[in-house]
Chain A
Amino acid sequence: MTASVTQLRQHAQEEASRFPALLARAEQLAGTVLLGEHGRRRAGLGDDFWQYRPMRAGDSYRQIDWRRSARGDEQFVREREWQIAQSVQIWVDPGASMRFSSDKALPTKADRARLMALATAVLLIRGGERVGLTGWMLPPRRGEAQVLRLAEILSGDSEADYAEPEARGMIPHARALFVSDFLGDLDAVEAALTKAADRGVRGVLAQVLDPSEEHFPFEGRTIFESVGASVAHETLKAGDLRARYLDRLAERKARLEALCRLTGWHYQCHHTDQSVQAALLWIYRAMDGGHG
């Protein structure tokens, strides 16, 4: 009992020590993207002045800005900037397969995925959106405190080798961000996307891959094992498998892309040796573009 409590506490401290770093990095990363990307730049519900326009049929008298209208003969309506808040739900693959990097100099896929997701969340929350996780654990909310909660929950790991996307608790017409290596069962992904599409949820699929998964630089007699050691495959000549492996990978990517096209999602593949900033910018644009 005591041991488990101690263990838990130690674990918690380890985790806690991890996510401020993650948070700090995410905020720093978000800071680089925030510049120049602000506001919705269209009329809508909000507090900030957007423009005056002549009154049209259908406008209620309450909308007329009398101070402006008193300066002339026409009646003007004061429009405010559109500031409606959107709900964004995030899912980051907690599976063991994400905890892999082929080189000490590279981050693990999980690390990269969390960073991307959290940085996106920071950006969105600063933009006034409500951000949460799929499923029931953390419904979308606004405010900086939500970032902390997100970071905490994102730091959790799952034991399973390949995790399935969480598509429950989707808020209709919300936005979604799925970050994973998508090496698990694609049918589950398809089911999740279909379910989301049914509810009018659109979003972004970001696939994070390690360079070794992209290039398969192996030779010789090798036994390949998954991170959780649940799956293994032995080959006598790893080099001979390269072409067929790459075919299968391309096929998988193509299927994901087709799925996204079908459901109105965006798909992007990111490698851990590439710039995380570019990936974040793309995700942010893709999320934002979804509004249009």
Chain B
Amino acid sequence: MTLFGILGFTTPWLLLGLLALPILWVILRAVPPAPIRRMFPGVVLLLGLKDDEQVSDRTPWWLLLLRMIAVAAVIIGLSGPVLNPEPNREAAGSGPLLVVMDASWASAGDWRARMDALDGLLARAGREGRPVAILRLTAPEPVRFLAADVLRTRIAGLEPTPWQPDPDSVAQITTMLPEGDFDSYWMSDGLARDGREAMLAALENRGTVTVFESPRSVYALEPARFEDGTLILAMQRLRPGPESAVTLLGHGLDPAGNPAVLLRAPISFEAGALRAQSDLSVPAELRARITRFEVEGTRSAGAVTMPDDSLRRREIALLAGREDREGLELLSPLHYLNKALVPTADLLDGALLDILPANPDVIIMADVVRVSAAEEDALVDWIEQGGLLLRFAGPRLAASDIARDREDPLLPVRLRAGGRSVGGAMSWGEPKTLAPFDEESPFFGLDISDVAVSSQVMAQPDPSLAARVIAQLTDGTPLVTRKPVGQGQVVLFHVTANAEWSTLPLSGLFVQMLERLAVSATTTTPDAAELEGTTWQPVRVLDGFGAPRDAGTLPGVAGDALVSAALGPDLRPGLYTSDDRALARNVITADTALEPVVWPDRIPVEGLSRPQETPLAGWLLALAILALLADVIASLALSGRLRSTRATGTAVAVVMGVLLSAPEAMAQQDSAAADEALALAATAEVVLAHVLTGDDALDRIAAAGLKGLSQTLFFRTSVEPADPVGVDLERDELSFFPMLYWPITPEQPTPSAEAYAKLNTYLRSGGMILFDTRDADIAGFGSNTPNGRKLQALARPLDIPPLEPVPQDHVLTRTFYLLQDFPGRYAGRDVWVEAAPPDAELIEGMPFRNLNDNVTPIVIGGNDWASAWAMDQRGNPLVPIGSGYSGERQREIAYRFGVNLVMHVLTGNYKSDQVHVPALLDRLGQ
């Protein structure tokens, strides 16, 4: 490559072609443009005319210049110009070259750039015929020098590791270096660490050392902490720089179970600062979902941190058997549990059946003997879904006969009657102490000093007992037993949760045991001593780029090693679990401090800061094409062929059309406005409503009927309804209407599930639906009309209470008028309403029973009331009823039923309560 300042050429001899340009100029200038043949009848007038200039028409100079530029661009473009070409490195000898790579997480951020640099290095070494070897300090292998081209094919397989080279292995590597002299090229990750000096010295013994270091700053994300309700995320950078802002992402599963970014938090370094912190207030639910935090746009294991239990607050429900000892706080069975759990968990209290839907992680029952059958079923279900039921014994449990003969599903073992007391004032012997924990026990490794047990409930000897004991006293009697149920477990402490029976709740061991059982979780990372004896299984591990991977068959890690050992192939960063506890091992720990490496002055350090090599050939050839295109247009214009500008005009018009055709904003129908209008109309006054059935004639009659009823109400009562409306069950809000009139046709569509949900809400919140099968027949037992069948189909998903025919003393018979029957267009027999409670009885001296307190949510009949009520604009009835006077009488009674019904809806059982008026007045002394 030939260099001219910042410009280089790969094939410079092609530039000689530029010499031909002047010759081309002369030739092009001499050749006139080709003539056009043009039909022209007036040619006879031209005959004999001579051109003024005998010289041929010359190509204008600017057109020539354009063509020269095009040709020159082609020549220069083909000669391979390169901006900022890679300068030829000083010949670094011809011996073997050893490429040493840190290949740690810190170099993962710009791994691609490093691989490009390495590729260039290998390409050069290949041209110079130097054998090359690659040595990764994080994954050392014996060094073998190979041809550079062979190694080049292996570059793609190189990956950074999520750990750093540790000083021990570096020392070991220095002994693995091959014999003979070689030059070294050290691709450093820029972090200072022990062992670099030794390695550098070892390499310098063999030849020259060149260091490559990326100028990009390394970001490290510290583990997320949770303090005082605040989530604290902190970042470090390797080198101080200008003010910069990065975004932290919190990844996790959304409620639908899909991976999603649940949290975005900006965090900004001040100018010159090495550390930045961001305090976030994140809801507990969201916090528990986050599985990893990472720095947006940085692919490095150091820029990822995985939270574990320390961010999670467990939900624990506490239930006690007795709450009757007011004032004796310290004797409360839950006092010590409260104290132990409040700092680390969210406590729930309430009735068991109210708590279970909240799906707490743990339910603790202190001295609770029995739960009801329904509660027991729900509890067992919950345990089988993974719940932990933690029970404490107590006087009540000891006194009960529960789990005597058979195993109780909610107790891990069978119990013997009475329990025992040792070492008390009235008994022989000393209080018992704890025996050391077995290796299988979750408590293995905990300190057992200074715990004394004076009373306990005893387990029945049983073949399965031994397997269920996880803690026992020195005399071999079980203290804590456990039994798995489904995915969950039941644990019983054979002592009380307060200090009455043992000193266990007073000791630190109690809290540690709760932690081991994953009842509580610490907010700080446990130290090695606490984790002694536990084994942790990796669940997800990070690779060097910070991408989480399934741990697969990686072996488990001892608890103390997990927190204290350095990361390496045997201990990868990731999430580890043991029983129900989870612990994350991150690349960056709270006490990690990034420190840039300082190389001695004698070592040359290269970086990526040099401007990028830019080949210019493409640009020049494009320029040539553009110049030639311009030449075409200019030539056409010159020779008069471009006279018809229509085509040009069309093209311009097309382009302008495309540019200007802004997407037309579609006027969207604003259904919200319509909904709001309906809501306003329905709530400003009392409005009766009927369900639109899709049958126009029927809907008209229903509307006219409600209109007639509204008129009647307006004239006769203080209820003054506005015009009735038809509601679409799928679309309209129902809660505005006191009652819905629902005529049944066999053809009407069945409402959707959403509409049924709306209807059920409406019924539960005090609405009433008047079903009208309009066949005068529904009440007849055993009868079956199409309308009746349709009504059954429609009403099946509805939340309808038991029904009965309107009893004689139902409040509906006297809310306004005194009625005996409820005719509409037909004088059918019975109308069905919500059944009276079974315990309603007629009291002596009362005219009627004290029935339901509420409005009946459903009235079902078949008398076609809407037809009887229907009225036109002038108040004339629309539908004839019966004949003569008796028909008019029936219509009148129908109106009275309507008035009574609306009154019932609006006033409830007010008229029933009127029966008490004499007694009340009597009591008031009037």
Interface residues in chain A, defined as those with a beta carbon under 8 Å from any beta carbon in chain B: 97-98, 100, 109, 161-162, 181, 183-184, 210, 212-213, 216-227, 231-238, 240-241, 244-245, 248-249, 252
Contacts and interface: CB of A to CB of B under 8 A. Distances in A.
Contact of B57 (A100, A161, A237): A237
Contacts of A161: 41
B354 interface: no
B34 interface: yes
A214 to B, nearest CB: 9
Contacts of A236: 32, 51, 53, 56-57
Interface size class of B (residues with CB under 8 A): 20 to 34
29 contacts: A100-B39, A109-B41, A181-B41, A183-B41, A183-B42, A212-B42, A213-B42, A217-B643, A218-B38, A219-B638, A219-B639, A220-B36, A221-B34, A221-B57, A223-B37, A224-B39, A224-B46, A225-B39, A225-B40, A225-B43, A231-B44, A231-B47, A234-B35, A236-B56, A237-B51, A237-B57, A238-B640, A245-B46, A248-B45
A43 B37 CA distance: 60
A167 to B, nearest CB: 21
A222 B35 contact: yes
Contacts of B37: 222-223, 225
A30 to B, nearest CB: 28
A267 to B, nearest CB: 18
Given A233-B49, A241-B49, A226 B44 contact: yes
Contacts of B51: 235-237, 240-241
Given A221-B32, A221-B35, A223-B38, A231 B43 contact: yes
Contacts of A224: 38-40, 42-43, 46
A150 to B, nearest CB: 25
Contacts of B53: 236-237, 240
Given A218-B40, A236-B32, 12 more contacts: A161-B41, A183-B45, A221-B36, A224-B42, A224-B43, A225-B43, A235-B51, A236-B53, A241-B49, A241-B51, A245-B42, A248-B45
A97 B49 CA distance: 20
Interface centre among B32, B51, B52, B643 (most CB of A within 10 A): B51
A238 B57 CA distance: 10
B45 A221 contact: no
A231 to B, nearest CB: 5
A238 B36 CA distance: 10
A181 B639 CA distance: 28
Contact of B46 (A184, A217, A227, A233): A233
A224 B640 CA distance: 14
Contacts of A217: 643
B801 interface: no
A221 B33 contact: yes
Contacts of A220: 33, 35-36, 57, 638-640
B790 to A, nearest CB: 72
Contacts of A222: 35-38, 640
A77 to B, nearest CB: 58
A212 B40 contact: yes
Contact of B45 (A100, A219, A249): A249
A98 B46 CA distance: 17
A160 to B, nearest CB: 12
Nearest to B36: A222
B39 A252 contact: no
A100 to B, nearest CB: 5
A162 B42 CA distance: 11
A4 to B, nearest CB: 29
Contacts of B32: 221, 236
Interface string B599-642: 00000000000000000000000000000000000000011100
B655 to A, nearest CB: 24
B614 to A, nearest CB: 43
Interface in B47-67: 47, 49, 51-53, 56-57
A225 B38 contact: yes
A224 B46 CA distance: 9
A291 B46 CA distance: 39
Question: Closest 10 interchain pairs by CB?
Answer: A97-B41, A219-B640, A221-B35, A224-B43, A220-B639, A220-B640, A213-B42, A224-B40, A248-B45, A233-B46
Contacts of A218: 38, 40, 640
A22 to B, nearest CB: 21
Contacts of B643: 217
A248 B49 CA distance: 10
A213 B640 contact: no
Contacts of A245: 42, 45-46, 49
A100 B46 CA distance: 17
Q: Which of B32, B36, B37, B42 is packed against the most chain A CB atoms within 10 Å?
A: B42
A227 B49 CA distance: 19
Contacts of B49: 233, 235, 241, 244-245
Contacts of B640: 218-220, 222, 238
A161 B41 CA distance: 8
A273 to B, nearest CB: 15
Interface string B208-220: 0000000000000
Contacts of B56: 221, 236
A236 B46 CA distance: 13
A249 B49 CA distance: 13
A233 B639 CA distance: 17
Contacts of A213: 40-42
B42 A249 contact: yes
A233 B38 contact: no
A226 B40 contact: yes
A152 to B, nearest CB: 25
Interface centre among B34, B37, B44, B57 (most CB of A within 10 A): B44
Contact of A226 (B35, B43, B57): B43
Contacts of A225: 37-40, 43
A109 to B, nearest CB: 8
Contacts of B42: 183, 212-213, 216, 224, 245, 249
A21 to B, nearest CB: 24
Contacts of A183: 41-42, 44-45
A113 to B, nearest CB: 13
A215 B44 CA distance: 15
A232 B41 contact: no
B57 to A, nearest CB: 5
A273 B860 CA distance: 88
B740 to A, nearest CB: 72
Contacts of A240: 51-53
A238 B46 CA distance: 10
B29 to A, nearest CB: 15
Interface string B8-39: 00000000000000000000000011111111
B40 A241 contact: no
A227 B36 CA distance: 15
B36 A223 contact: yes
Nearest to B48: A233
A167 B883 CA distance: 109
Nearest to B638: A220
A224 B44 CA distance: 10
B30 to A, nearest CB: 14
A9 B53 CA distance: 53
B48 to A, nearest CB: 8
A235 B46 contact: yes
Residue from B35, B45, B49, B57 having most chain A Cβ neighbours under 10 A? B45
A224 to B, nearest CB: 4
Given A217-B643, A219-B640, A222-B36, A237 B52 contact: yes
B38 A221 contact: no
Contact of A227 (B34, B35, B39, B638): B39
Contacts of A237: 51-53, 57
Nearest to A185: B44
A207 to B, nearest CB: 12
A238 B45 CA distance: 13
Given A221-B639, A233-B49, A244-B49, A162 B39 contact: no
